[in-house]
Amino acid sequence: MQDLTKRLEQLETDFLNVYQKLKIAEKLKKIAELEKQVADPDIWKNIEQATFKNQELAKLEDEVQPWELLKTQIVDIKELINVSDSTLKAEIEGQLEAMEDKLIELKKVLRFRGPQDDKNAIIRITSGAGGTEAMDWAGMLERMYLRFCERKGFKIIQLERTVGEEAGIKTAVYEVDGTNAYGTLKSEHGVHRLVRLSPFNANNLRQTSFALVEILPVIKADTDIQIDEKDLRIDVYRSGGHGGQGVNTTDSAVRITHLPTNTVVAIQNERSQIQNREKAMEILRGKLVQMQLEQHAETIGELRAGESAGWGQQIRNYVLQPYKLVKDTRTEFESTEPDKVLNGEIDGFIEAYLEQ
Strand partners, 194: 209, 318
What is the tens place of the pLDDT at every residue in 243-281? Answer: 334 444 467 888 899 988 888 888 877 667 788 888 888
Domains and CATH numbers, the chain: 2-111 (1.20.58.410), 118-356 (3.30.70.1660)
* pLDDT band for position 179 (cuts 50, 70, 90): confident
Distance, in Å, from the CA atom of 124 to the CA atom of 174, rounded to the nearest integer, reads 7
What is the tens place of the pLDDT at every residue in 28-38? Answer: 999 999 999 99
Strand order in the sheet with 334-335: 155-163, 169-177, 121-127, 206-217, 190-197, 314-319, 325-328, 334-335
**Nearest to residue 346, comparing CAs of 144, 111, 161?**
144
Amino acid identity for residue 129 in this structure = A
Distance, in Å, from the CA atom of 231 to the CA atom of 200, rounded to the nearest integer, reads 44
* pLDDT band for position 90 (cuts 50, 70, 90): confident
**Nearest to residue 353, comparing CAs of 335, 337, 330?**
330
Give burial (CB, 10 Å; 0-12/13-18/19+) of 223: exposed
Is residue 166 predicted with pLDDT exceeding 50? Answer: yes
C-alpha distances out from residue 333 to 178, 327, 329, 345, Å: 25, 6, 8, 13
Q: What is the pTM of this model?
A: 0.74
Task: Give the β-pairing of 190-197 and 314-319.
Answer: parallel
Which range is least confidently modeled, 96-105, 290-299, 334-343? 290-299
Distance, in Å, from the CA atom of 187 to the CA atom of 330, rounded to the nearest integer, reads 10
Give burial (CB, 10 Å; 0-12/13-18/19+) of 202: exposed
Distance, in Å, from the CA atom of 11 to the CA atom of 17, rounded to the nearest integer, reads 10
Given this model, what pLDDT does residue 195 score? 93
Residue 279 zone, left/alpha/beta (φ > 0; ψ -120 to 50; rest): alpha
Strand partners, 325: 319
Beta-carbon count within 10 A of 20 CB: 11
What is the tens place of the pLDDT at every residue in 282-338? Answer: 888 888 888 888 887 777 777 777 655 567 678 999 999 889 999 999 999 999 999
**Cβ(160)–Cβ(267) under 8 Å?**
yes
Return phi, psi of residue 134, to 5°.
-70, -40
